[in-house]
A = this chain, B = another copy of it.
Amino acid sequence: MTYAKRISGLKSSAIREILKITERPGIISFAGGLPAPELFPLKEVATAVQRLFSKYGPSVLQYSLTEGLGRLREKISRMLDPNTGRIGVGNIIITQGSQQGLDLVAKLYLDEGDVVFTENPSYLGALQSFRLFQAEVRPVPSDENGIRTDSLIKALQDERPAFIYLMPNFQNPTGISLSLERRRQLVEIVKERDLVVVEDDPYGALRFSGEKLPSLFELGGAGNFIYLSSFSKTIAPGLRVAYVAAEEEVIGKLAVLKQGTDLQTNTLGQYLVSEYLESGDYREHIGLLRKTYAYRRDCMLSAMERHFPETVTWNRPEGGMFLWVKLPDGSDAAELLPRCLERNVAFVPGREFFPDGSGENTIRLNFSNADPENIEEGIGRMGEVMKPMSG
């Protein structure tokens, strides 16, 4: 029995393994990237199922087009481009979560040995996807404003990547957003060199404060930019409904790849998302999510202020689901983890997200899933474990 070469060295994401531990009852988890389940629109979904069956009959459970439900693609194209009409149904493909968007884009662009540029740190699920297509990931230095454009220019002198992968809004894992100035610079760099950028935006709708920044896709157009987003964080992840927006030619190729990958995204989930968008509850729901998550972020910030040693620092993201903690240089977050798990509190050591293996002293904390009481309790327990660092 010989597996393919891509399997050698394949290992389960450390994060998925931590998540298994967090299924233990009683654990307070800041480890996952889970939305607050108590905000899922259960009633709306239940009544929508009934309504959909009487409106559309069995087609809600039948095979449907690989590209996705027409009515849903149309709504998404109007969300992305309410005015110009440049983005239409042909620019959208529905995917089984954004993770499938990443898989399909990797399948479309990556040959063995190809290079992908990413932020440093970057989203682990994306790195996993790219590595399964035997690409090499090159992290480009990033700071509190996102990927450094000067470093990017330098890196581009040595190599031409198959594409550049970025998460410009409330990045997973850091919560950092790419500044407007950097966005403009980046679009220029990319257009000058005719590069491909894969822009992953699962959290963009979850902005609590500050001004909404235009996406790279909006700034630079579909020619060089492939835009991925999802309803996992704004409606519910268990529906697995997300999308890719790009040039029609690219969408056409992604559709043929998707035929061979899973034929189509689940029909019921697509109808449910489409119905929810139509109902008008969506905007209100996003408002509720923003308010709730902003409050939880503030609870976490306040708890850290009170419980963490002074030598520990963190950022204050303007949205999303994560914040980023730095332990004093020389500390190892991975050593902290088992001691926290003993006290029934979980987090993800930041090192997992650094393609260059750095980031030993960093921690990703999720603030969307636990309620304020558990946030206070969990951060308190982490603070106790950190105490030896205070000197």
Contact = CB atoms under 8 A, between A and B. Distances in A.
Interface of A: 1-7, 10-13, 16, 20, 32-35, 37-38, 40, 42, 45-46, 49-50, 53, 57-66, 96-97, 99-100, 103, 107-112, 114, 125, 128-129, 131-133, 162, 194, 196, 232, 236-240, 252-253, 255-257, 259-269
Nearest to A99: B263
Contacts of A269: 266, 268-269
A256 B10 CA distance: 8
Contact of A259 (B16, B42, B259, B268): B16
Majority SS at the chain A contact face:
helix
Given A62-B40, A268-B268, A261 B4 contact: no
A6 B265 contact: no
B4 A108 contact: yes
B253 A125 contact: no
Given A49-B45, A62-B34, A237-B62, A262 B3 contact: no
A237 B65 CA distance: 12
A35 B63 CA distance: 9
A266 B108 CA distance: 24
Nearest to A52: B46
Contact of A61 (B107, B111, B239): B239
How many copies of the chain does the oligomer comprise? 2
Contacts of A45: 49, 53, 61
Contacts of A264: 97, 240
A289 to B, nearest CB: 14
A7 B53 CA distance: 39
Contact of A100 (B46, B255, B261): B261
Nearest to A268: B238
Contacts of A34: 62-63
A111 B38 CA distance: 45
Contact of A255 (B12, B97, B109, B262): B12
B53 A260 contact: no
Contact of A5 (B100, B111, B125): B111
